[in-house]
Structure 1
Amino acid sequence: MSLAKILLVDDEPDILEILEYNLIKEGYEVATAGNGEEGFKVAQKFQPDLIVLDIMMPVMDGVELCRLLRSKPEFNNTIITFLTAREEDYSQIAALDTGGDDYITKPIRPRVLLSRVKALLRRNERQEDHEEASTILVGDLEIDLEQVMVLRGKERIELAKKEFDLLTLLASKPGKVFSRDEIFNRVWGTDVIVGNRTIDVHIRKLREKLGDHYIKTIKGIGYKFVF
């Protein structure tokens, strides 16, 4: 029985082959694509639980594909992680900015990828299993945990999955100051390694979508939700 469905999108056949082989050996159901445009078509048919994208690809790069996927409601809960040979901040920020959940720098070792994939899927399962309340009502926002949806009056606010998880955490205890370490542990999990700019990027995106007044920065500590 397959553990989960994983889509690999990379323009290097050798990388696709070795990653596909190792994931299948672990019991995952795997599909592959050689560029972003092909990846989108495969994703629509395959409906993966997790997508691994290379950033630099012909036809449509990984960032554009991620942006396209996140614009479709059926991929709101799909985990997306990037593979990139670049270590510059701007490429990692671009990956997170478009709704990516994580990134892994090349050259990638199969054992490292397997560990990261398992960690991402475990964290996702824990978040789904531990959702006790179905709705959080705070100020003029309604956060529907079952439908992964945020409403302000009749207006639906579209959030990427990590943005939604971060908002849910902060709004679960309005006024409480969440440290950066606690946010990392609760939203990304202690077994997932992400860049230092990850929280900042997601907070900025939330403020762009919700307005600046909901999330307050507590300098040197973290963030809190206010209304």
Structure 2
Amino acid sequence: MRNKIIQAGADVVLTQLCTEEISLQAYALIRRYTEWKSERKEEVPVIVGKLEILPLQRTVEWEHKRIHVVKREFDFLYLLASTPGRVYTYSQIYQLVWQEYPHGDIANIIYCMVHRLKRKLKKVDVSAEHIIISVKEVGYCLRGYKES
């Protein structure tokens, strides 16, 4: 029976309901899909207000001033800037930026990274740090700007 189900297209056949196993299997499927999708994703530059993110060069600029960021800071900004105004939960951010199953105090881990990133933005322009918005007990989003 199990073989027929897998041959029919199922990725997993669970014999007992075990929440930890289901979580791990779901994470494996999400990771596989995310890796597959990211390999095929056309990375286009993203501009939100004065913030410009160039994914092929892996650079971040504010009003044409380069901001030196590390990999996770870049990935975090690119994620938020790709959909300004959309709130990402801590769990979503951790899975998409760290590409790991969330474990530990992820809210604090992400807070620390955002704090360092905001300091870097503030060095370029005092108002730059305000582009990242904290949604209390939920996650973060990027402020959407309308050019006038």
- Confirm or deny a common fold (TM above 0.5): yes
Unmatched runs of 5 consecutive residues or more in structure 1 = 1-121
- CA distance in structure 2 between the partners assigned to 1:223 and 1:152 by the alignment: 19
Q: Partners in 1 of 2:101 and 2:44 — Cα distance?
A: 27
Deviation at 1:173, TM superposition (A): 0.6
Who wins on radius of gyration, i.e. which is larger?
2
Deviation string, structure 1 residues 3-59 (Cα, Å, up to 9, x no partner): xxxxxxxxxxxxxxxxxxxxxxxxxxxxxxxxxxxxxxxxxxxxxxxxxxxxxxxxx
Is 1:217 aligned with 2:140? no
Asked if 1:151 is matched to 2:61, the reply is yes
Q: Under a length normalisation based on structure 1, what TM-score does the superposition of the two structures give?
A: 0.42
- Distance of 1:194 and 1:164 partners within structure 2: 22
Question: Cα–Cα, structure 1 residues 130 and 167, in superposed 2: closer, same or farther, change >3 Å?
Answer: farther
Contact 2:133 2:140 (C-alpha < 8 Å) held by counterparts: yes
- Checking the alignment, whether the CA contact within 8 Å between 1:131 and 1:145 is kept in structure 2 is no
Displacement, 1:206?
1.4
Q: CA deviation at 1:130?
A: 4.5
Provide the TM-score with structure 2 as the length reference: 0.62
RMSD between aligned residues: 2.5
Identity %: 34
- State the secondary structure of the residue aligned to 2:130: coil
1:201 aligns with 2:118: no
Residue correspondences, number: 106
More strand by share: 1
1:26-175 to structure 2, matched below 5 A, reads 126=35, 129-175=39-85
Segments of structure 2 that go 5 or more residues without pairing to the other structure are 1-30, 123-128
Q: Report the CA distance between 1:193 and its aligned residue.
A: 4.9
